[in-house]
C-alpha cells in the first residue's frame, strides 16, 4: 500500500487589510465627509508593505521622511499581523528599503 501526500503548490494569499489586528478600532474619520472612515495611515503602510510596489515604497519613504508615519508603530503593526514566513521576510525587507530611502530623503 502506497500513501501519497501532496502539498498545495500555491500558498495562502497575503493578509488583506481586513486581517490587520483590530484595524476597525483604528479607523479615522475622513474630514469633511460625515460617517466616512479611513484606515489609519500606519495600517495603510502595512498593507503597502505587502504590495511592495515601487510607488508604495516611494510613498512610504516620503511619509516616513516627513514624520507622517511612526516607524516603531509600523513595525509593531507588521509584527502583530498574522502571516506566513515568506511574507514576514518580504514585508520586513520592503520596510528596511523604505527606512533606508527615508533616511536618504532626510539627508537631502
Domain contains 58: yes
Q: How many domains does the chain contain in total?
A: 1
Domain contains 49: yes
Q: What pLDDT, on a 0 to 100 scale, did the predictor assign at position 108?
A: 87
Q: What pLDDT, on a 0 to 100 scale, did the predictor assign at position 9?
A: 41
With 0-12 / 13-18 / 19 or more C-beta atoms within 10 angstroms meaning exposed / middle / buried, residue 69 is buried
Query: Where in the sequence is the domain holding 49, given as residue range(s)?
Result: 40-107
**Is residue 61 within 8 Å of 102, Cβ to Cβ?**
yes
Q: What pLDDT, on a 0 to 100 scale, did the predictor assign at position 16?
A: 59
Q: What pLDDT, on a 0 to 100 scale, did the predictor assign at position 5?
A: 41
Q: What pLDDT, on a 0 to 100 scale, did the predictor assign at position 27?
A: 87
Q: What pLDDT, on a 0 to 100 scale, did the predictor assign at position 19?
A: 60
First and final C-alpha spacing in the chain: 69
Q: What pLDDT, on a 0 to 100 scale, did the predictor assign at position 50?
A: 93
Nearest-angstrom CA–CA distance, 1 and 38: 57
Q: Which of 105, 98, 101 is nearest to 45 (CA)?
A: 98
How high is the mean pLDDT in each 10-residue block of the chain (108 residues)? Answer: 43 56 82 90 94 96 97 95 92 98 95
**Is residue 83 within 8 Å of 14, Cβ to Cβ?**
yes
Domain contains 81: yes
What is the four-CA torsion angle of 80, 83, 86, 91, rounded to 10 degrees? -50
Domain contains 66: yes
Amino acid at each position: 500500500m502506497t500513501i501519497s501526500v501532496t502539498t498545495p503548490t500555491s500558498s495562502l494569499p497575503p493578509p488583506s487589510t481586513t486581517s490587520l489586528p483590530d484595524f476597525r478600532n483604528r479607523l479615522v474619520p475622513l474630514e469633511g465627509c460625515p460617517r466616512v472612515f479611513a484606515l489609519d495611515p500606519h495600517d495603510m503602510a502595512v498593507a503597502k508593505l505587502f504590495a511592495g510596489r515601487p510607488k508604495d515604497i516611494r510613498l512610504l519613504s516620503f511619509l516616513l521622511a516627513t514624520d507622517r508615519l511612526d516607524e516603531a508603530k509600523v513595525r509593531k503593526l507588521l509584527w502583530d499581523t498574522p502571516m506566513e514566513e515568506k511574507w514576514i521576510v518580504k514585508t520586513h525587507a520592503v520596510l528596511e528599503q523604505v527606512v533606508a530611502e527615508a533616511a536618504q530623503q532626510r539627508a537631502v
